[in-house]
Structure 1
Amino acid sequence: MPELNLDLTACHQHLVRVRISHRPRQGRLVFSLPSWTPGSYLIRDYVRQLEGLEVRQVGQGGSVLPLRRLTPSSWQLELSSLQPIEISYTLLAAELTVRTCHLNGEHGFLALAAVALEIEGERWSCHRLQLNLPPSWQAFVPLAEDPGGGWLAQNFDQLVDTPIEVGPHRCHSFSVAGVPHRWVSWGPVLEGCELVESDPHWLKHLESVCLACCRLMGVDRPAAAHYLFVLHLSDAGYGGLEHDLSTVLQFGRRALARPEGRRKLLQLAAHEYLHQWNVRRLRPAELTPYRYDQAVVVPSLWFAEGITSYVDRLLPLTAGCCTEAEVIEDLGADLSRYLLSPGRRIQSLRASSEEAWVKLYRPDAFSANSQISYYLKGAVLALVLDLHLRRAGSCLPVILRELWSSHGAVGRGYREADLIAAFTRHAPDLAELLPTWLAGDGDPPLANYLADVGLGLKVTLGASQELGCRLDSGTGAPCAGGVQRDGPAARAGLTVGDEWLALDGIRLRTPEDALAMVTAGESPRARQLLFSRDGLVRTATITPDPPAPVAWSLLLDPDGTETMAQQRLRWLTLEAP
């Protein structure tokens, strides 16, 4: 049984000292560090944080054994005997995200995919975990405790699926359908925004959302036998990463202080909690089993993340933790972001899923022109599918429950064809429509479906003419942070990084200066722009377009009927039609 010992006492140096003890079964040993962590589809090359790798063996006089590097993150070792070995190395833990490692004098967080070496032939063996912590710190680990001390993982997959939070934190316990849950948070909050301590309803509402997830999946209790929530509060972070027995959330303290902050955090918690079914156990076949050394094309990430992103907006209402008006506002904000994304016309939803490894997690100033998030467009498609199914007397929760029964509960990975078949059983016309929506670059007929539940989209036009360029504040002059493909700025030959110095001879110092000169009340006309690129001052003629949409909102139809209102409530609370 490999034993992983982690020393976190060098917290002020951000260093994790790792020691793996193991009795080899064969003379040739290969071991490797994962290149990515499930749930975050990007090759992260965790090995770049590793230093000082050494292997010693009992009976070899304490000398370091020679290693042969096979790849940047894998090694081979030739042994003359099968005496126990000790692998030691150090990791820099200085990046605070839900998928990396962070250690300082206040806390430590470890994503074990970035820490633990996989020893060839031991993937399905039990692994033991030991921690050495600074004084007064305690560990929060979602694994079974070892009677002899430490924790036990059933296999390497469970080990690297284990996030570790350590520090002098308070732990709050609650239960969901009799299943023990823990809530642990780190990071200062703004005054009056303390969760649990100053909000006596927080854990109760979190429990209600968790129970709503169970009802959505048609089960009586969570899939996990016990569960750990870890929250990192930062200045402006946002995100989460799902695990079988836990989740790690990152949220901005300023965002939490806003009126909608608590609801947004509940939605994030609902999203990651639902993943213990959809993604973790109801898993794409391409991720069964995981391949930690390489990217794997997964065409159905639109279902794994898009469906979850859609229902996370509705689950707090289902749990009785927010109002119908608030949910409509949130759905409208999502639809607005989608309709304002030009890349949705270029990249299909299936392509967005397949290209996640090289596009979504590597955005640049030009990304908005050519790509769309499978989270966002997947959520829009989920909304359309739910309303389409309701026309046929069914709904999206029914599909989730059936897929859980046929695939997730029995550990059978699904493929895109399985998903299409599941939808088609309840609405036969989806056999043609769904593949078209997945492969095409057009929008599903949103307005048509929203009308069923008495809702409509309202557009808001900009207060200025459209320049086709996002101007950011610069040092003395606004700077082009993004340029729309085929927009006015692009037609004028402008690009990202250009400094806009003057428009029609008038000095520009802020983005607002430029917008004030092209107000919506006058007709667009050619303008002379003085700009700087690569240290050289140049000129261009830019002709703005008429004002373009800057936002969309979801509003109640004033002519909507009582029947529409009843259908809308059943839809928003995830009830069958």
Structure 2
Amino acid sequence: MAAKSQVKINFEVSFKEPQAHYAEVEMNMSGIAAKNYVDVKMPVWTPGSYLVREFAKSVESFGATANGKAVKVEKVTKNTWRIFNAKANAVKINYRVYAFEISVRTAFIDASHAFLSSANIFMYPAGMIKTPSTVKIIPFGTWDKVSTGLEPVPGQKFTYTASDFDILFDSPIEVGNQDVFEFNAAGVRHEVAMYGGGNYDKERLKVDMAKIVEQATAVYGENPNKHYTFIVHNYAQGGGGLEHLNSTVLGASRNAYGTPRGYNGFLGLVAHEYHHLWNVKRLRPIALGPFDYDNENYTTNLWVAEGFTSYYENKFMLRAGFTPQDGFVSGLAGAVGTVMNTPGSKLMSAAASSFDAWINGAYRPNENSRNTFISYYSKGEVVGLLMDLEIANATKGAKSLDDVMKAMYLQCKTLKRGYTDAEFKAMVEKISGMNFTNFWAKYVNGTDEIEFAKYFGYAGIDIVNENAGKSTPYFGATTSRATGKVIVTGVARGSGAWNGGVNVNDEIVAIDDVPAEALVEKMTQISSKKVGETVKVSIVRDGLKQDLTITLTNNDAVKFKTTIKEDATPQQLAVRKKWMGI
């Protein structure tokens, strides 16, 4: 039997019909065991995006040859092809991949470029994840650039190598005529590949992106990469990002760079995804690597992996000078408000949200998600804030969450594996010198009300709910205008609309006999009432008209105002300084 180290795998990707959104993939394997068949598999998901996407559905025209002759191929599972190679030690496989979904996590090809999300493009031999491979890209027509975090093969144009399939699947590839520029920061060469044009200023981005890199590196004390690639897709309206080991893919709006909000929004996205090269790619939950590409990979720690990354996005923007202190504080208060104003946060913990990422919320929302689900991004960001302030206060400003993150990164590096929830908790307790069992019970595994005044108070910050004590009538249904009609799109748990039987997809015809179209903007028939009073809501459901009597509830949404106290105590100032890091 041939040793796995003798197996050689080479891919060649070309584009005969990019305008029709196809990639042509040739996969050559040699040195394989002398068996009657070999299985090759397509991943069903891509790391960093926690949803089974069934990439095999985009594969067509699969065929194979051995010794120059076509051999039998049989599909044996949804993502496995069996090649009957009659004990030949080499086989050539050809298949096409249809790629027409614009996102940072899925392949997309058209006449202007090809974005290859590698888990969406490349297959692997069953049981040989650790086998090296090479990838040769043949650009189409006048395309003349390839951008990727993969290592180039010396002397071979557009040819790259991956030490194993985990590396290959973690390395997206941009092919086309992208605008490429570079900058150096933290001792690392960074390449930025801009597709789609835009009103960005390359020289300004070089300086400002470098500031983000330096601030992130400062937390961990080292940057683990020799080179790093940003692939940026600029669309009329774009957003989102996906992290990789030494690269990232960002979605951006091409004409938003010219406004302060748009520019800082892009830098915030850079800060988020760049932080992932530590938090999640190396400092990672134990379940997230080595990966099972056939099934869901469950963890209860996405509140750290994603939520803390969202939290640190704020810290890096502050420390790099892009966000003022009051903006930093008010932004985090707003994040607390977002969680408290989401009904699902009262039902779902941060740990449960992480575990259910595969079936709930962000990737598979429905009309009731807001009532049952809270994002591990949102809740994790708030947990990170509370934990950071708790540590800084317990140590009188000597330590912060930064110290925990660095220590956990070094622990994962030393142990060469991810962490468990218990190990993360133990490190928090070691750094802070206090027991976090109650904190975990309340904010990680529980759904307790957030003690916002207590935690902001540690840093000498007053926080007030401006809606406290107000009596504001609340209907509780969100609507949209579709084909001239007012259609219910959501109903808030516990609201008057919820209690009174308003359904999603109902058409609201009138409220107290006033046509709904006239009320959509101001809902005067609601605002003129008092909490506890009723309104008659006329609806059409499934073509039938009916009237509902709705008792208005109180709007208990929070709205925070924060003030950074100038007369803070010495300990509060010490906590604030360590927390902010400026």
Q: Secondary structure at the match of 2:249?
A: strand
Q: Secondary structure at the match of 1:205?
A: helix
- What is the Cα deviation at residue 92 of structure 1? 1.0
2:440, 2:446 within 8 Å by CA — same for their partners in 1? no
- What is the Cα deviation at residue 368 of structure 1? 0.4
Aligned equivalent of 1:363: 365
Aligned equivalent of 1:208: 211
Amino acid of the structure 2 residue aligned with 1:208:
K
Which shows bigger deviation, 492-501 or 256-265?
Answer: 256-265
2:392, 2:575 within 8 Å by CA — same for their partners in 1? no
2:423 matches 1:418: yes
168, 177, 182: which one aligns with 2:186 = 177
Q: Secondary structure at the match of 2:408?
A: helix
In 1, Cα distance between equivalents of 2:513 and 2:357: 45
In 2, Cα distance between equivalents of 1:284 and 1:546: 41
In 2, Cα distance between equivalents of 1:547 and 1:320: 37
In 2, Cα distance between equivalents of 1:458 and 1:260: 26
481, 494, 500: which one aligns with 1:473 = 481
Which shows bigger deviation, 522-531 or 161-170?
Answer: 522-531
Aligned equivalent of 1:101: 107
2:538 matches 1:537: no
Aligned equivalent of 2:449: 443
Aligned equivalent of 2:387: 385
- Map of 1:339-350 to 2, 5 A cutoff? 339-350=340-351
2:26 matches 1:19: yes
- What is the Cα deviation at residue 476 of structure 1? 2.3
Question: Any idea what the Cα deviations from partners look like across 1:313-342, whole Å, max 9, x if unmatched?
Answer: 110221233321232232233222112111
Question: Any idea what the Cα deviations from partners look like across 1:161-205, whole Å, max 9, x if unmatched?
Answer: 11111121221111112211101111243xxx3231xxx322111
- Map of 1:25-174 to 2, 5 A cutoff? 25-27=33-35, 28-60=37-69, 63=70, 65-137=71-143, 138-149=145-156, 150-174=159-183
1:285, 1:414 within 8 Å by CA — same for their partners in 2? yes
Question: Any idea what the Cα deviations from partners look like across 1:504-558, whole Å, max 9, x if unmatched?
Answer: 1111116625612211675552111111111211111112223443x62341155
In 2, Cα distance between equivalents of 1:559 and 1:142: 47
Mark the CA change 1:278 to 1:50 in structure 2 (over 3 Å): closer, same or farther: same
1:180, 1:227 within 8 Å by CA — same for their partners in 2? yes
Mark the CA change 1:181 to 1:449 in structure 2 (over 3 Å): closer, same or farther: same
2:437 matches 1:431: yes
Amino acid of the structure 1 residue aligned with 2:93:
I
Q: Which runs of 5+ in 1 are unaligned?
A: none
1:58, 1:83 within 8 Å by CA — same for their partners in 2? no
Question: Any idea what the Cα deviations from partners look like across 1:39-94, whole Å, max 9, x if unmatched?
Answer: 1111110111111111112242xx3x222222110122222132421111111111
479, 503, 507: which one aligns with 1:495 = 503
Aligned equivalent of 2:401: 396
RMSD of equivalent CA atoms: 2.1
2:148, 2:247 within 8 Å by CA — same for their partners in 1? no
2:389, 2:579 within 8 Å by CA — same for their partners in 1? no
- Map of 1:307-386 to 2, 5 A cutoff? 307-360=308-361, 361-386=363-388
2:462, 2:565 within 8 Å by CA — same for their partners in 1? no
1:471, 1:511 within 8 Å by CA — same for their partners in 2? no
Aligned equivalent of 1:10: 17
Mark the CA change 1:432 to 1:492 in structure 2 (over 3 Å): closer, same or farther: closer
Mark the CA change 1:240 to 1:485 in structure 2 (over 3 Å): closer, same or farther: same
Mark the CA change 1:468 to 1:392 in structure 2 (over 3 Å): closer, same or farther: same
Mark the CA change 1:26 to 1:537 in structure 2 (over 3 Å): closer, same or farther: farther
Identity of aligned residues (%): 27
Question: Any idea what the Cα deviations from partners look like across 1:251-309, whole Å, max 9, x if unmatched?
Answer: 23465454322222112111111111111111211123111110022011111111111
In 1, Cα distance between equivalents of 2:564 and 2:550: 40
Amino acid of the structure 1 residue aligned with 2:166:
D
Amino acid of the structure 1 residue aligned with 2:247:
S
- What is the Cα deviation at residue 218 of structure 1? 2.4
2:132, 2:161 within 8 Å by CA — same for their partners in 1? yes
1:231, 1:248 within 8 Å by CA — same for their partners in 2? yes
Mark the CA change 1:369 to 1:254 in structure 2 (over 3 Å): closer, same or farther: farther
Amino acid of the structure 2 residue aligned with 1:53:
F
1:455, 1:554 within 8 Å by CA — same for their partners in 2? no
In 2, Cα distance between equivalents of 1:41 and 1:270: 21
In 1, Cα distance between equivalents of 2:528 and 2:465: 15
2:530, 2:552 within 8 Å by CA — same for their partners in 1? no
- What is the Cα deviation at residue 560 of structure 1? 4.3
2:477, 2:491 within 8 Å by CA — same for their partners in 1? yes
In 1, Cα distance between equivalents of 2:165 and 2:531: 65
Which shows bigger deviation, 318-327 or 399-408?
Answer: 318-327
- What is the Cα deviation at residue 159 of structure 1? 0.8
In 2, Cα distance between equivalents of 1:353 and 1:113: 22
Q: Secondary structure at the match of 1:101?
A: strand
Amino acid of the structure 1 residue aligned with 2:206:
L
In 1, Cα distance between equivalents of 2:284 and 2:62: 35
Q: Secondary structure at the match of 1:130?
A: strand
Question: Any idea what the Cα deviations from partners look like across 1:190-239, whole Å, max 9, x if unmatched?
Answer: xxx3231xxx32211111110111111122xx211210011112233321
Question: Any idea what the Cα deviations from partners look like across 1:106-157, whole Å, max 9, x if unmatched?
Answer: 2221111011101124321210101111233211121111125211111111
- What is the Cα deviation at residue 350 of structure 1? 0.9
In 1, Cα distance between equivalents of 2:258 and 2:535: 43
Which shows bigger deviation, 342-351 or 121-130?
Answer: 121-130
Amino acid of the structure 2 residue aligned with 1:398:
D
2:294 matches 1:290: no
| TM-score, normalised via structure 2 length | 0.92
Which shows bigger deviation, 533-542 or 430-439?
Answer: 430-439
2:577 matches 1:570: yes
Mark the CA change 1:428 to 1:547 in structure 2 (over 3 Å): closer, same or farther: closer
Q: Secondary structure at the match of 1:125?
A: coil
Q: Secondary structure at the match of 2:463?
A: strand
2:232, 2:249 within 8 Å by CA — same for their partners in 1? yes
Mark the CA change 1:412 to 1:513 in structure 2 (over 3 Å): closer, same or farther: closer
2:241, 2:248 within 8 Å by CA — same for their partners in 1? yes
Which shows bigger deviation, 283-292 or 31-40?
Answer: 283-292
In 2, Cα distance between equivalents of 1:59 and 1:11: 28
- What is the Cα deviation at residue 488 of structure 1? 0.5
517, 523, 532: which one aligns with 1:515 = 523
